[in-house]
A and B are shown apart, each in its own frame.
Chain A
């Protein structure tokens, strides 16, 4: 364990603070970002990429900053942005899930083609995993693709596809080898949402907006080389993506941002002139959460170090999604309580305009429950923690065999 800051680290910290001071006016509001990035967000992203505050360790030839991996540098940057309450850049399914997947298992051609536009926020991806009959049981996916004259021809239906209504591309899990066993019959394809035969039907969520969709495929054609790894490797690739998705959903920097935002609210005097931070019971709620966020951030540093050293963290990694999403839920819960009845006001704007703070917190509070479910529900995480992390025996199989393969 050596966390001494080198002169280089100290210089970086000053540099980031100076950057934030100089540019904070150009930053879009953090959080609530489940829309297509607007001009402001894209310009901010470009600025962050240019300075190496985003995609810092992604090689230059793929559009990143190309810095060597240094967890302390990453922590310094994340910390500066969350302390200042400034957007750390875009985090979406393409950037946080597909890009690391391609870096891990994609071909050279795929990395060169997709990573640059994705991290710049220009190419938006959606995730075609869940189907009406297969959510937790993801490997039971029935959407199928057959090969015909150099193309996969896709038919079927996906559901809960976040962002599909504005995405440019999809990474799709589908069945290409129907005669193989459940897990061995899947492939992971990349396809443009503009392909003929794709129909996207928005689904309204509890927030009142349509953040996700049903996606229907009728004879959708995709060139056979638009596959990550090979035919039948889909389950493996899907799980690589899920690994990154679960890290994203448990992101401690987001938690830290929230904690800071709540602290700022609690410092403001209320209608009666008193500050909640001065009341022991409120302060204690905040401090408990702060303790948990510190633990999550330290844990994240440990995981980043292990990743950089090529160690698979196993259990340490399996707990991140469940832990982080529950903590996020409790942070949003505190935010709602701090705002009290004035925080109940709710007028979500359309796709472009920014929401007011109360509406944003209410959306976060609801969305957090969505994220407790999405990306593998808490129960599925607990099964993974128990079975893969702790080596407990699996649940006995049902007496009645599954209807599907």
Chain B
């Protein structure tokens, strides 16, 4: 029994953070965020070289075969640096979707392509996770029609995986006939949302091999929620680190502001809220692989709790910076907006807590 990261995991997190720090100095981040697509080919390639694309893909399909905790560490690093890179949906949820509901042939065909960074899959979960927006898809005669809003990792996606209300998922090609994908720039310019309008689009694969499709879909949802929680953890940690550094430098009334108890207490409050979140995210991620009976409950709680803590840290860390925090000068807002985004996608805290109650059998769904 050991509650902590392995040496390899520590190393992995550090090297990913080092890579991102190197690739995403503020001027580069500002430039990449301009487009709002949440994708940059060079960064994507670099992340691939670090093994991110195939992180969760089993070794037999050309991946590293690592687990959800490793993925959460990656999500945390991406959030820390506000990296404009598809991840939660394209590299975690999509893999989970194939593994839980794809047949052997589909897995053999698609997982290697994900691991090689060739298939970048945007994923739409709207109705099943309590996201707002349109969620009305029909599959008739093998053709998909209707509308689905708010697909994650959809900017520059090669494919979309659209969930049907019954828990099955249809994979469609981004440019196929009958597919209209509208990119919506979000307040978080490092990640876009895509609205899909489908008129008789032909799926290239239908993931329906699970004997309980809704349960399979929920596992995908839970994996995504853990990733968003980890992303917020990273973004909030970044904001706290910078607030502390700023409080040690900035002078007012002839004193370093960190020497005012008011400022010290703000930093201490942020640390007190955030520090337990790290272990919470670790456990929630670990449970996805190792404690199936708790997986949904802890994923929902991690998502909701990190959203609440993230919102507080985002405000307090900005406050510590005074007027500087409100500007674009320090770029603190990239993490601020990351936290804003993570909260609303795949269900806000109210919905997640409801799902936690359902998962524990306290109430019906």
Q: Would you give the shortest CB distance from A160 to chain B, in whole angstroms?
A: 4
Query: Does residue B193 face the partner (Cβ distance < 8 Å to A)?
Result: yes
Whole-angstrom distance between the alpha carbons of A400 and B251 in the complex? 12
**What B residues does A102 contact at CB under 8 A?**
none
Chain B 332-365 interface 0/1 with A at a Cβ cutoff of 8 Å (1 = within): 1100110011011100111001100000000000
**What A residues does B354 contact at CB under 8 A?**
281
**What A residues does B345 contact at CB under 8 A?**
341, 344
Stretch at the interface among B203-211, B257-265, B267-275: B257-265
Stretch at the interface among B60-68, B105-113, B153-161, B315-323: B315-323
A205 near B260 (CB under 8 angstroms)? Answer: no
Interface size on B, residues (CB 8 A): 53
Query: Does residue B132 face the partner (Cβ distance < 8 Å to A)?
Result: yes
Whole-angstrom distance between the alpha carbons of A343 and B188 in the complex? 12
Q: Which residue of A135, A272, A337, A343 has the most chain B CB atoms within 10 A of its CB atom?
A: A337
Pick from A133, A208, A343, A379: contact of B262, CB under 8 Å: A379
Whole-angstrom distance between the alpha carbons of A400 and B260 in the complex? 14
Closest to B266 in A: A379
Q: Would you give the shortest CB distance from B74 to chain A, in whole angstroms?
A: 23
B150 near A135 (CB under 8 angstroms)? Answer: no
Query: Does residue A329 face the partner (Cβ distance < 8 Å to B)?
Result: yes
Whole-angstrom distance between the alpha carbons of A366 and B344 in the complex? 16
The answer to whether A206 and B328 touch (CB under 8 A), given A136-B322, A379-B262, is yes
**What A residues does B180 contact at CB under 8 A?**
none
Pick from B187, B251, B255, B333: contact of A344, CB under 8 Å: B187
Query: Does residue A369 face the partner (Cβ distance < 8 Å to B)?
Result: yes
Whole-angstrom distance between the alpha carbons of A144 and B220 in the complex? 63
Residues of chain A in range 135-170 having any CB-CB distance to chain B below 8 Å:
135-137, 140, 159-160
The answer to whether A344 and B325 touch (CB under 8 A), given A281-B350, A401-B254, is no
Chain B 127-159 interface 0/1 with A at a Cβ cutoff of 8 Å (1 = within): 100111111100000000000011000000000
Closest to B150 in A: A341
A372 near B319 (CB under 8 angstroms)? Answer: yes
CB pairs A–B below 8 angstroms (17 shown): A130-B323, A137-B253, A206-B336, A271-B133, A272-B135, A336-B340, A337-B348, A339-B344, A340-B132, A340-B348, A341-B133, A346-B187, A382-B262, A383-B262, A400-B254, A402-B253, A403-B254
Residues of A near any B CB (own CB < 8 A): 130, 133-137, 140, 159-160, 203-206, 208, 270-272, 279, 281-282, 329, 333, 336-337, 339-347, 362, 365-366, 369-370, 372-374, 377-379, 382-383, 395, 398, 400-404
Instruction: For the complex of A and B, list the 4 residue pairs with the smallest distance between their C-beta atoms, beginning with the closest.
Output: A402-B254, A340-B132, A206-B333, A204-B328
